[in-house]
Every structure is written in C-alpha cells, then in structure tokens.
Structure 1
Amino acid sequence: MARLPYPEPPKQHAKSHPTLNIMKLLSYSTATVEHWAGLGNAQFKHLLLSARHRELVIMLTTSKFNSTYEWTHHTPVSLKAGVTEQQQAALKASAKEKDFFIDRKFDNGAVGFSEKDLILLSFVETIIQQPEVSDELWKSVKGQFSDREIVEIITLQGFYYSFSRLTTVLQCDFDDWAKSKL
C-alpha cells in the first residue's frame, strides 16, 4: 500500500489509457507533474540514444536503486528493444554488487553485451556510484557516443534515479496491468 493516497487525475487530463500510479503520486507536485510527464515522453520519442541503450540505462538504474515498480514496467519494453533475458538477469544481479560492470563481474560470453554496451553500463554505474568519471572511461565513452547521447545518458539516469526513489520511498503500488507480470 502506497504511503500517500492516489489522487484522481484532473478531468481535463483524462486520457484513453489509465494514468500510471507513479504519475498519480507525482501529481501532488502540481508545479512539476506536467514537466515530468513531458520529459518522460521525450525520452521515448526524441532521444538520439537508441531504444536498446535507453533501456540498458533504465534497467541498470532501476536495478541499482531497487525500484521493482520501474524494473517491472521496463522488463517487457527492454525485451522489445533488444535486451535479452540473460542481459536482464545480469542487470538485476548488478544491484547486489558494487563495480559489477566496471570490473566486469560476470561471464560476458553467456550474456553477450557488446563492447559499446559495456562502456555504457560502466559509465552509468560510475555515475550512480561516484561523482567523477575517470579520464580513461571518459575517453572510451567519447569514442562510442556523441556529445548529445552522453548528455542524454546522464539525464536519463537522473530521471530514473528520481522515479526509482519516488517508487521506493512512497511504496508505489504496481499498476493493475503490471501485477500479472509478477
């Protein structure tokens, strides 16, 4: 049970699909809820970063911050974007270990991440764990991603950090459609 009651969305915002519980909770912040919704929408429609790399960032972030709500929402989305079940399992395992991707504490032969994927995951894990990125990692990231993509990676990670914390601190309930995925 969520720590705050779910307010009903205003009638003028009624849509043909149900409002997600996380957005209902965000609606308490009337000054920012529409901005969060717009930013979330932009991340699915307007990023230069590929859908697969977007989902790797989201899955790693939600795993590291133990957001079962966001993880469950993105499991089918990430599969559709090309993240395999084995890769999802490795992302999930990373929650229990510091430097999981930085130190490559998994059998990549079984998991099949590309070198570009591993640079991305090491970059995101570094952002999560510490404030600075080494010159060596930065050089690798710059060799694989454009300046725009790098900024998108950082802001995407920050967005899902915030959503992960909202879902865990407020104990956001699963949306009805997601309950069947558990």
Structure 2
Amino acid sequence: MPRLTDPNTASFPDEVRDFLTSLPPDPMVKMLSHSTGTVKPFIELAKAQFTALQLSARSRELVILTVAEYTDSTFVAAQHNPMSQAAGVDERTRQLIRSRQLDDAELSPHDGALLRFTADIVQQPHIADDVFDTARVFLSERELVEVLQVIGYYWTFGRISTVLDVEVTKIYGDEPILDTPDNGTAG
C-alpha cells in the first residue's frame, strides 16, 4: 500500500491538471503529482529520454535495468523488463543484471563496460578511472553524459517507488510510449 494518499487534483493549477489528464492513469504519476511544480518537467524529462538521446534504446534499457537492480526498485524493473526485451535485451543479459554478474564473460565488452559503469555510479559518488576509461571506449562523450542523466532520473524514480511503496498496476511493454508530447507516463 502506498505511503501517501492520492493528491487532491482539484487543488492543482489548471495547467498541471490539464497536463495530468492527458496521461494514462498511473500510480507513479499520482505520487509525482504531489509536487505540482515538478511533475510536468519530470515526466517531460522521461519523454526526452525516449525521444532525444543519441544513446541507443538497448543501451538505455540496460542502464535502467541496472539502476533498478541496484536501487532495489521492483517498480522500475517490472516496467522495464518488457521494454528492454522490445529494445533487444535478451533474457540471459537481464538475468545477469538481476544476479549482479556484471563481469560475466557472456556479456559483450560493450555491455559489460556499460553495466559496470552504471552499477558503480549508482553505488558511489566517484568511480575508478579504469571503469570510466573502459566505458569511454564504447560510448561517445554525449552518450556518457546521457548515461549519467538516465542513471540520475531512474535513481530518483526508483527511490520514489521504494520509499513511497508505489504499486505496479500496469506493465508497459513494447507499445509506443513517451513518443509524443501528449502521450506517455513517467516510467
């Protein structure tokens, strides 16, 4: 059961209420809407991560699954397991992430570098030069910054889901989400 009650949408500014009614019903959006001043930009940032990154969808989903694992966010993992499959992440790779076997030889050098980079960032404020340098072999400077932004977003998302006990009521699969200004959810 969520720790916060659903907010009273009647008290929302018109712009926020109109924006929220354009979205599908979602328990995370309800929790986010307690902060009426940040809910719209937060959701718009999610949309940008699905429409404006140079980082591939597959790499983005690898990052998100790793953040979900290391933040213990069942909500984020449940939302992104089907999305990652649609983006080309196979079950074995998802299993290696869930078991935190990020050095497994089955992972491609690219995937291993990306997963270690992500896990290290989630766990500590500074990472070793060798972890950064290995990630840099596979990622452009823009992609490195985008990975950091995805990590930060989903770390926050994960903490909102775990601290506020947000329940998963809809699992998003490979249907198009967050692809237009008036369609999408926060996840």
TM-score (norm: length of structure 1)? 0.84
The structure 1 segments of at least 4 consecutive aligned residues displaced by more than 6 Å after TM superposition are none
Structure 1: unaligned runs, 5 residues or longer: 95-99
Q: 2:56 aligns with which of 20, 37, 50?
A: 50
C-alpha distance in 2 between matches for 1:168 and 1:133: 25
Residue 168 of structure 1 corresponds to 162
Q: Which moved more, 1:144-153 or 1:134-143?
A: 134-143
C-alpha displacement of 1:178: 3.0
8 A Cα contact 2:73 2:158, kept in partner: yes
User: After alignment, is 49-58 or 26-35 more displaced?
Assistant: 26-35
SS at match of 2:31: helix
Corresponding residue for 2:5? 5
Q: What is the one-letter code of the residue matched to 2:24?
A: P
C-alpha RMSD over aligned residues: 1.7
Corresponding residue to 1:159 among 153, 159, 163? 153
Q: Which runs of 5+ in 2 are unaligned?
A: 10-15, 173-187
Following superposition, the deviation at residue 71 of structure 1 comes to 0.6
Partner Cα distance (1:147, 1:36) in 2: 24
Instruction: State whether residues 69 and 174 of structure 1, in contact with CA within 8 Å, keep that contact through their aligned partners in structure 2.
Output: yes
1:178 corresponds to 2:184: no
Query: In 2, Cα distance between the equivalents of 1:6 and 1:173?
Result: 13
After superposition, where does 1:121-160 map in structure 2 within 5 Å?
A: 121-160=115-154
Aligned residues: 165
Between the aligned residues of both structures, percent identity stands at: 35
What amino acid sits opposite 1:157 in the alignment?
A: I
Structure 1 position 159, deviation (Å): 0.6
Q: In the superposition, relative to structure 1, how do residues 27 and 11 fare at CA in structure 2: closer, same or farther (>3 Å)?
A: closer
State the structure with bigger RCO (CA 8 A, min sep 6), 1 or 2: 2
- Name the counterpart of 2:97: 91
Q: Conserved in 2, the CA contact under 8 Å of 1:8 and 1:24? A: no
SS of 2:25's partner is coil
The answer to whether the 8 Å contact 2:70/2:123 transfers is no
Displacement of 1:3 after TM fit? 0.7
Residue 3 of structure 1 aligns to a residue whose secondary structure is coil
| Deviation per residue, 1:123-168 (Å, 9 max, x gap) | 1111112222222222222221111100010111011111101001
Cross-structure match for 1:28: 34
Structure 1 residue 68, shift from structure 2 partner: 0.7
| Alpha-carbon shift at residue 31 of structure 1 (Å) | 1.2
